[in-house]
Copies of this chain bind each other. A is one copy, B any other.
């Protein structure tokens, strides 16, 4: 078994016994979700998607769609145009709060319902079908495959959607939403009803993590600057009024959805997706949140961890008569292991199998256990000629 998959699997199993919370109850399709379902996927810079648990179960994307539709709107209209319609500050209020900025009438940010509806309104389309088609196509580019809408969920969302209609009418009364309220709101309900797997949302998160370039398809879905803006906004506002504590504890820009989906972005490192339908009082997946917190800690993924120190001075390569010495300095976290392997693969590729390769980690100031696991496991796959000097 792939050693990283093995690590992920062990994390998943540790968290699985937690059974707090319950699935969203406001529509039958969500209320009847199997609460035991649990899955996680992660994608690295080279597009390898690793997943564990029920990774082929489809669920509705719900609010996880918000940062990606925001990215589409930013790519189409530019930052200034979008900011005229929606702010980027946490609201200090629940996700469905009925509050707009006093002077501008803008919703607080694009990741609360009001702001997400305003953002959906920015996606062009002569009617709800055209707008929906554009959105689904955009989300599909983030996911790297053609996504579809769950019409039953859409119908239920629309039936119970008075609060979102209220938000849309309110924004229209402020001139923040220019479009036809009914058209926009129905598009929004369809956007929330797009079906995804945990692998899909990991790739979507990965597209943001790797500067707008889908690691699976290689497509530059949105410009780098747009990806950076979206990651910034997810940092500030992605976990609603828990965003500050989430940044401190977990350190990964994230966004959850009411069906149990959760995406996390480790910039330049990983895109992560989790799925578990039981929600806490904030509407976040209980096991999903804890799993991401542990993943971040275990793999050293906090954005303010000193990732860069792993390459200070980085990787020094010296060819001697005894063999090829690859010396690592600084710290090595899980995220650095992958890079080291890239370098090693290139060095070994086509090399004389009798010329030994030594990976010297003895001078590392700190070596994270998960990094050593990953190195050992992958070196085994490469062949026996690489020896680790500890």
**A interface vs B, CB < 8 Å?**
87-92, 98-99, 108-109, 160, 162-163, 165-170, 172-173, 181, 211, 224, 228-229, 231-233, 235-237, 241-245, 247-248, 251, 267-268, 302-309, 311-319, 339, 342-343, 346
Closest to A88 in B: B244
A232-B248, A236-B244, A308-B308 given as contacts; is B315 within 8 A of A315 (CB)? yes
Residues of chain B contacted by A170 (CB below 8 angstroms): 98, 162-163, 166
**With A247-B235, A247-B236 as contacts: A303 and B303 at CB distance below 8 Å:** yes
**Partner pick for A169 among B166, B237, B313, CB 8 A cutoff:** B166
Within 8 Å by CB of A237, from B181, B244, B316, lies B244
Q: Is the CB of A162 within 8 A of B166?
A: no
Neighbour of A172 across the interface among B162, B181, B305, CB < 8 A: B162
Q: Chain A's interface: helix, strand, loop or mixed, by majority?
A: helix
**Which of B92, B211, B304, B343 is within 8 Å of A314, CB to CB?**
B343
Contact A90 B92, CB 8 Å, known A173-B166, A236-B244, A315-B315 = yes
- Asked if residues B308 and A89 are in contact (CB atoms below 8 Å), the reply is no
The answer, among B87, B237, B306, B311, for a CB contact under 8 Å with A311, is B311
Chain B neighbourhood of A302, CB < 8 A: 228
A367 to B319, CA, bound (A): 28
Q: Determine if B87 and A346 form an interchain contact, defined as CB atoms under 8 angstroms apart.
A: no
Give the complex CA separation of A235 and B316 in angstroms: 34
Given contacts A165-B169, A228-B302, 5 further A-B contacts (CB under 8 A): A89-B90, A236-B236, A308-B308, A314-B314, A315-B316
- Can you list 17 contacts pairing A with B, beta carbon distance less than 8 Å? A89-B92, A90-B92, A91-B92, A98-B166, A98-B170, A162-B172, A165-B169, A166-B173, A228-B302, A235-B247, A235-B304, A267-B306, A311-B314, A311-B315, A311-B339, A314-B343, A317-B318
Residues of B within 8 A of A319 (CB): 318-319
Whole-angstrom distance between the Cβ of A164 and the nearest chain B Cβ: 8
A352 to B99, CA, bound (A): 70
Nearest B-chain residue to A109, judged by Cβ: B244
Q: Which residues of B contact A233 (CB under 8 A)?
A: 244, 248
